[in-house]
Amino acid sequence: MHKPFIKNISLAEADSWFASAGEKSYRGRQLFNWIYERNVGSFHDMTNFSKELRQRLGDEFLLAPLVLEERLVSESDETEKYLFRTEDGHYIESVLIKSEKLSGERLTLCISSQIGCGMGCSFCRTGGMGFVRNLETAEILEQLSQVRRISGLKNNNIVFMGMGEPFLNYDNVLKAADIMNYSFGFHISVRKITISTCGIGRAIERFIDEERPYNLAISLNDTESVKRRINMPVESKYPFAEILSMLEKKFPASRNRLTIEYVMRRDNISREDAKRLKKMFRNIRIKLNLIPLNPSGSGEAPGGEEIESFLNELAIMNVPVSVRMSYGGDICGACGQLAGKKLYREGAVI
């Protein structure tokens, strides 16, 4: 049994540990400043702690739960994909996306929450891995720590949209999000943290009831329940119609808009699909995020004219509609392509 990871503990738990060690209460805040804001890679770098205290921390905790196996940089758009190995020998991936916005460069880190995924969505390679286990809070936070340290960049957006279903690892994911938001943690605004789910109804309701401040995104991807059940088996247990009814009652108008993710295939962007989308969301404030299907699983990607036609049909929907650009396709870092494997330039995947 390995030593516990220090990034699994909350600020309150850190305060309790230091109190038990006979230290002042402010040591917890200092610790968080070192491991998150200053992002040090060793307890020995914490120079305002005594040598004895640093030694004790090292004796009782592990600081880094992940080892970098591979870093790939897209030749087309500079997207960076990171392959990490866990302490028990499994692999996860994170993706740093660089895109332009009016005020300059926008940096988004796509973070994994599980090793593999058991949801079985037809368009996602991660689902082909099956479910292995949930990531610990420390393993979630370490992705951000290492990407920042390796890239030298401080991203300004976090999306829990990598490998795994975040709401099936609810407690660890929300604990990680809270630490990202802490003033003594990464100090990332709640408006810059998005948690994406394929539609785990009970967790969505819990998220709302707990008044969590983070952005919520739900993957829809089909407007017909029968077709959605084929492409997203979660529909059988949590029908989207029931989730939508709950959202209409509970999702407060004062919150950020709910984001609906919609992966576009040739068979789900008809005029009828557009009409159903408009009808479904007539009573709830949303943003609609359209994602062209990437080469990953089943389905056929639509052409530019088909996407344009779909957008024209949605034009009178009176909600913000955006088409997400695909980044990192040449390194299998685009939406639906993460599978926890090494990718080599000559094209062989192992």
Query: Which residue is catalytic, options 110, 124, 198, 335?
Result: 335
What DSSP assignment string belongs to 265-280?
Answer: -TTS-SHHHHHHHHHH
Q: Which domains does the chain have, with CATH numbers?
A: 6-60 (1.10.150.530), 66-331 (3.20.20.70)
> Which residue in 23, 93, 142, 165 is the catalytic one?
93
Residue-level pLDDT at 277: 93
Query: For this structure, is 335 an active site residue?
Result: yes
| 318 conformational bin, left if phi > 0, alpha if psi -120 to 50, beta if neither | left
pLDDT at 126: 78
**What are the backbone angles phi and psi of residue 41, rounded to the nearest 5°?**
-100, 5
Give yes or no for a contact between 197 and 218, defined as CB atoms under 8 angstroms apart: yes
Active site (annotated) includes residue 124: no
Q: What is the mean pLDDT of each run of 10 residues along the chain (350 residues)?
A: 89 94 93 95 95 96 94 87 94 88 71 93 80 97 96 90 96 97 90 96 96 96 96 96 95 82 94 93 90 75 91 85 65 48 41
Helix axes 304-314, 271-280, angle to 10 degrees: 40
Predicted pLDDT at 102 = 44
Q: What's the whole-model pTM score?
A: 0.90
pLDDT of residue 329: 47
- Distances 111 to 105, 144, 177, 333 between C-alpha atoms, Å: 19, 8, 11, 12
